[in-house]
Amino acid sequence: MQTEDHRQRVAAERRERMRARLLASAMKLVAAKGPAAMSIDDVISDAQVSRGTFYKYFTSPEELVRELAVDVANELIRMAEPVVQRFDDPAERVSCGMRLVARLALEHPLAASFLVRLGWPDVRGSTILLDFVERDLAEGLRRGRFVQMPLALAVNIVAGTVVGASNCMLKTACEPDFAEQAAAAALRALGLDANEAKRIAKLRLEPARVDSSGLLSDVLAQSA
């Protein structure tokens, strides 16, 4: 019985390693050419596996991208949540989250390129990351920190700002504090006055830590 359990555990670990290998290849390919242009042949060539191996894990490139988006969203939340929750003010939490994600472009350009290419919010992926953002925006609207507007509009302001800032920050000519400038602009759009928005956008952030056992850790190490 113990031998059988050991074999099952080893087999499960092997399957998880292969799944992670396929996901890592997909992330690099999406970052380089976008999800629509990525093919099964691209993935199996990069991962150095057979077509049959691919189909053991995913039915199509679209399913692979959907699962990848879920994994990345979960890891971004695990990275940002400990830092975001240090702040009580929902405006400060929203600003913090925006800056952390946008700064990936400076520290880990491959991960930022993936997010920009995929687009966010992405209709093919899960709503996990949106739910994370909506939580603080909804609280800010409820507490009167933001001007009254539909929650969907507030989400669009934040999501558009993050993707736009990330895209700009991938370019060498972009200012190094562009994440802070973008966060301040989004806060103004949400209803804060210019001085307060600027102050919040420049608050000191604790370093965010990527899960050392997760997909992002493996891919970010390759992009560093």
| C-alpha span between 221 and 224 (Å, rounded) | 5
Residue 103, pLDDT > 70, answer yes
What tens digit of pLDDT does each residue of 151-179 get? Answer: 999 999 998 999 899 889 988 788 889 99
Confirm if 74 and 128 have CB atoms less than 8 A apart.
yes
CA distance between the termini of the chain = 44
Domains of the chain: 68-223 (1.10.357.10)
Provide the b/e sequence for 116-144 (b: ≥16 CB within 10 Å). bbbebbbeebbeebbebbbebbebbbeee
What tens digit of pLDDT does each residue of 176-214 get? Answer: 899 999 999 999 999 999 999 999 999 999 887 766 666
